[in-house]
């Protein structure tokens, strides 16, 4: 009975690990699948695949939130308004300090250009890689509010894109996530084996006092 339970728990745990690897396979082993412009047209077709975009201008941060991945809190994320080369506006989120510092500096350089202080945005473009997905409803609310405050609306001639380029995780982060999930079946098996051995030792100890 105990061995059967151990076998069932082991199978269920490894099925969980296998499912994690299956659903994350593109993020763990795949390369860049498309540009943001391509993926934004059909985000479901590029779900959980790496998407890239060369950021040339930024209009600032519009929201921040606790970052979660598959219901696991992983840090803090920051949302930025990206001014695209074609004049459209897109949302992008990051969590790493270096990414935030770059986007904050790019925001200053962008407004220097808008205010006429410089003849061009005096910062090199940078390629960001992430996944395209829908924004949370609260983030969309902040997004729309920031756009309206800046006078960036469709009636003013702007194209507003709502598909978020989430750059809060990289391949190493997903590998660590998969590694953490892998510990679940290992711990499950270890705990079950330890419990089985303790139970067996208890039974053997009780049998020693039974009449022969």
Dump pLDDT digits (tens) for 126-163. 999 999 999 988 999 999 999 999 999 888 889 999 99
What pLDDT is recorded for position 61? 97
What pLDDT is recorded for position 33? 83
What pLDDT is recorded for position 47? 87
What pLDDT is recorded for position 31? 72
Question: So where are the chain's domains?
Answer: 2-23+174-207, 31-169
A 10 A CB-CB count for 173 gives 16
Residues of the chain where predicted confidence (pLDDT) is lower than 70: 1-30, 67-74, 170-212
What pLDDT is recorded for position 157? 87
How open is the CA angle 138-145-73, to the nearest 5 degrees? 30
**Secondary structure E strands in the chain:** 32-35, 50-55, 58-69, 72-83, 89-94, 126-133, 164-166
What pLDDT is recorded for position 48? 84
CA atoms of 82 and 103, how far apart (whole Å): 9
Length of the chain: 212
What pLDDT is recorded for position 78? 96
Per the CB < 8 A criterion, the answer to whether 158 and 152 are in contact is yes
Percentage with pLDDT > 70 across the chain = 62
């Amino acid at each position: 009975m105990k061995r059967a339970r151990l076998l069932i728990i082991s199978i269920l745990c490894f099925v969980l690990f296998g499912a994690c690897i299956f659903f994350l396979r593109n993020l763990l082993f795949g390369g860049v699948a498309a540009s943001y412009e391509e993926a934004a047209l059909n985000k479901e077709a590029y779900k959980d695949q790496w998407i890239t975009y060369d950021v040339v201008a930024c209009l600032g941060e519009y929201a921040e939130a606790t970052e979660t991945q598959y219901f696991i809190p992983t840090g803090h994320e920051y949302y930025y308004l990206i001014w695209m080369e074609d004049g459209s506006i897109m949302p992008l989120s990051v969590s790493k300090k270096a990414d935030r510092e770059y986007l904050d500096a790019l925001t200053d350089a962008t407004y220097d250009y808008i205010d006429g202080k410089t003849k061009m945005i005096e910062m090199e473009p940078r390629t960001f890689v992430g996944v395209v997905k829908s924004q949370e409803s609260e983030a969309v609310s902040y997004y729309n509010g920031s756009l309206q405050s800046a006078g960036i609306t469709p009636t003013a001639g702007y194209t507003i894109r709502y598909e978020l380029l989430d750059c809060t995780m990289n391949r190493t982060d997903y590998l660590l996530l998969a590694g953490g999930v892998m510990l679940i079946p290992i711990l499950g098996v270890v705990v079950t084996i330890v419990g089985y051995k303790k139970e067996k030792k208890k039974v053997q100890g009780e049998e020693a006092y039974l009449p022969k």
